[in-house]
């Protein structure tokens, strides 16, 4: 006899925003039984509780394709468990952890370990990213295909660029045969001498700056190599006007190039340094850029040049972020402000529709990671986020589930909030509370 109990829920009158099917429906009723969506008129549904979804949005499969979970090796900053809890709290149903852990995720065994960790925790789907080069040292390619066979969805040396053009060319050519994307953290290290954006504010504070060109020269190189190889290139955390020009050029040439921005680059400029001054909470790589660049990034998302919004969730221990601007590590803890940050930057000012913003948090990352999902249709896994678009809330890092509380969004008012998260038919967060009792065995 099976010990599994049938579970289900009805959601009434919800606005379904489904970028996988291009459907934005007002006041829909839907049902979920045993982990999958069912038809709203399924007679079985009547046995299950109903939830009033009026005034809420239902968005399937939000994936944050750029997070740092610090495990193995730096568990004082974050663990897989705390990172997964932060994801559920932020309304995220899938994550792609970057491989810059200690040791680096550069073998099939480590990829399997990540997938198993994600399944055991059961809060969020985990799509590992393997290193491009062995130990991310930039000297020799890692075992890309064997990692791919075990479930790596893309490859990156994030935290560092793939400096050698020859290796980048090989990685793009090779990964295209699986096929998988190579995600580059574009940064010409000989130009990137600073801790913040090169400009008037850096000068006023006497902090060394890094120009946008440090990123853009490598984005242009990568675009040329994507054209040469036919490979799939994804540019992480784009933060420069000239990078946008390169990406636009690549798209006009039909190169397989996609790009990503973070909410912090959309919400803040280097003017944040005037407020936070020498507090390294603003220290992030790439740095917060000028107001003009921020504007250009917003318009590039609107124009469709940017395919993905991802957090670059980079938690650090408070003791590390309490060091001087020079000594503190780069990074912002972003998983719990990803959804609200994207809405605040783009939907609240009327720049973009909810559908187009949600596309960059759902179907966009799915495409880059080679994932398929049919949308909210009977039989599809019930992975969803309920969003209250009217909720205005103040970012208080003390409320984060992440161990990392480092964010310059602290104190800011965001508009829109994830109020519930469901993965495979089970609530992982409701009303701001993560529910991880008895979860496990995601498939
Ligand atoms: O600010 C950052 N922090 N940028 C990166 O590229 C790496 C990340 C980290 O791992 O802390």
Is residue 238 within 8 Å of 244, Cβ to Cβ?
yes
Whether residue 267 contacts residue 344, with contact meaning beta carbons closer than 8 Å, is answered with yes
Q: H helices of 211-290, where?
A: 213-229, 241-252, 263-267, 272-276
185 Cβ closer than 6 Å to some ligand 1 atom: yes
Q: How far is the CA of 17 from the centre of ligand 1 (A)?
A: 31
Residues 87 and 332: beta-carbon distance below 8 Å: no
Q: How close is the Cα of 349 to the center of ligand 1, in Å?
A: 29
Q: What is the pLDDT of residue 438?
A: 67
Distance CA 181, CA 224 (A): 15
Residue 305 alpha carbon to ligand 1 centre in Å: 23
pLDDT score at 442: 74
Q: Exposure of 72 by Cβ count < 10 A (0-12 exposed, 13-18 middle, 19+ buried)?
A: middle
Cα dihedral value 289, 293, 295, 298, nearest 10: -90
Please confirm, yes or no, whether 312 is among the known catalytic residues: yes
Which is nearest to 196 in space by CA: 281, 266, 259, 261? 281
Please list the ranges in the chain whose pLDDT falls under 50: 1-3
Which ligand 1 atom lies nearest to the CA of residue 236? 6
Burial of 93 from C-beta contacts in 10 A (0-12 / 13-18 / 19+): buried
103 preceded by a cis bond (ω within 30 of 0): yes
Token output for 81: 């468990």
Residues linked to residue 156 through DSSP beta bridges, in sequence order: 183
- Helix, strand, coil tally for the chain in percent (to 5): 35, 25, 45
Any atom of ligand 1 within 6 Å of the Cβ of 68: yes
CA-atom Rg of the chain in angstroms: 21
Report the run of H or E that residue 239 belongs to, with start and end: none
Q: Return the structure tokens found at 200.
A: 């008037």
* Ligand 1 atom 6, closest CA: 159
Q: What SS3 state is found at 149?
A: helix
pLDDT value of residue 194: 95
pLDDT at 2: 42
Global confidence as pTM? 0.97
Check if the beta carbon of residue 413 is closer than 8 Å to that of residue 392: yes
281 within ligand 1 shell (Cβ under 6 A): no
> Could you tell me the two tokens for 259?
């790009």
Which residue among 101, 105, 284 has the greatest number of ligand 1 atoms within 8 angstroms of its CB, and so is best to mutate?
A: 284
Whether 311 contacts 339, CB under 8 Å: no
Ligand 1 centre to CA of 1 (Å) is 50
CA angle, 219 as apex, 216 and 221 as ends, to 5°? Answer: 110
CB of 314 sitting under 6 A from ligand 1: yes
Q: Is 313 in the pocket of ligand 1 (CB under 6 A)?
A: no
Nearest atom, ligand 1, residue 100 CA: 10
Is there a contact between 186 and 210 (Cβ–Cβ < 8 Å)?
no
pLDDT at 345: 98
**How many H helices and E strands in the chain?**
14, 20
**What is the atom index within ligand 1 of the atom nearest the CA of 68?**
10
Nearest to 84 by CA among 116, 43, 112, 118: 118
Tell me how far the alpha carbon of residue 160 lies from the centroid of ligand 1, in angstroms: 9
pLDDT recorded at residue 26: 86
Kindly report the backbone phi and psi dihedral angles of residue 36, in degrees, each rounded to the nearest multiple of 5, phi listed first: -130, 155
Please identify which of the residues 18, 270, 307, 312 carries the catalytic annotation.
312
């Amino acid at each position: 006899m099976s010990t599994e109990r049938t579970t289900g829920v009805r959601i009434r009158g919800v606005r379904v925003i489904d970028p996988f099917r291009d459907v934005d429906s007002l006041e829909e009723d839907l049902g979920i039984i045993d982990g999958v969506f069912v038809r709203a008129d399924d007679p079985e549904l009547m046995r299950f509780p109903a939830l009033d979804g009026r005034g809420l949005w239902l968005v399937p499969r939000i994936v944050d394709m750029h997070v740092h979970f610090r495990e193995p090796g730096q568990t004082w900053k974050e663990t897989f468990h705390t990172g997964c809890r932060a994801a559920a709290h932020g309304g995220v149903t899938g994550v792609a952890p970057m491989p810059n852990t200690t040791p680096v995720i550069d073998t099939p065994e480590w990829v399997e370990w990540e997938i198993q960790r994600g399944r055991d925790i059961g809060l969020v789907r985990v799509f590992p990213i393997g290193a491009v080069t062995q130990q991310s040292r930039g000297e020799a390619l890692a075992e890309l295909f064997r990692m791919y066979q075990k479930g790596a969805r893309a490859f990156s040396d994030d935290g560092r660029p793939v400096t050698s053009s020859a290796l980048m060319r090989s990685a793009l050519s090779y990964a295209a045969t699986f096929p998988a994307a190579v995600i580059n953290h574009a940064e010409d290290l000989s130009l990137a001498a600073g801790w913040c954006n090169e400009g008037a504010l850096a000068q006023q504070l006497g902090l060394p700056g890094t120009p946008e060109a440090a990123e853009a020269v490598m984005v242009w190189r990568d675009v040329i190599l994507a054209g040469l190889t036919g490979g799939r290139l994804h540019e992480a955390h784009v933060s420069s006007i000239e990078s946008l020009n390169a990406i636009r050029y690549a798209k006009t040439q039909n190169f397989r190039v996609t790009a990503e921005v973070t909410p912090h680059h959309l919400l803040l400029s280097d003017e944040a340094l005037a407020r936070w001054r020498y507090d390294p909470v603003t220290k992030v790589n790439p740095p917060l850029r000028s107001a003009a660049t921020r504007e250009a990034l917003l318009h590039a998302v609107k124009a469709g040049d940017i395919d993905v919004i991802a957090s670059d969730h980079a938690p650090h221990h408070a003791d590390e972020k309490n060091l001087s601007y020079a000594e503190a590590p780069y990074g912002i803890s972003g998983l719990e402000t990803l959804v609200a940050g994207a809405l605040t930057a783009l939907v609240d000012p009327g720049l973009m529709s909810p559908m187009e913003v949600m596309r960059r948090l759902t179907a966009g990352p799915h495409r880059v990671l080679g994932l398929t999902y049919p949308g909210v249709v009977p039989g599809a896994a019930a992975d969803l986020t309920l969003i209250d678009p009217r909720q205005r809330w103040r970012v208080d890092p003390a409320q984060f589930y992440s161990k990392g509380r480092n964010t310059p969004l602290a104190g800011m008012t965001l508009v829109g909030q994830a109020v519930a998260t469901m993965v495979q038919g089970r609530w992982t967060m409701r009303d701001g509370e993560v529910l991880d009792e008895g979860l496990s065995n995601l498939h």
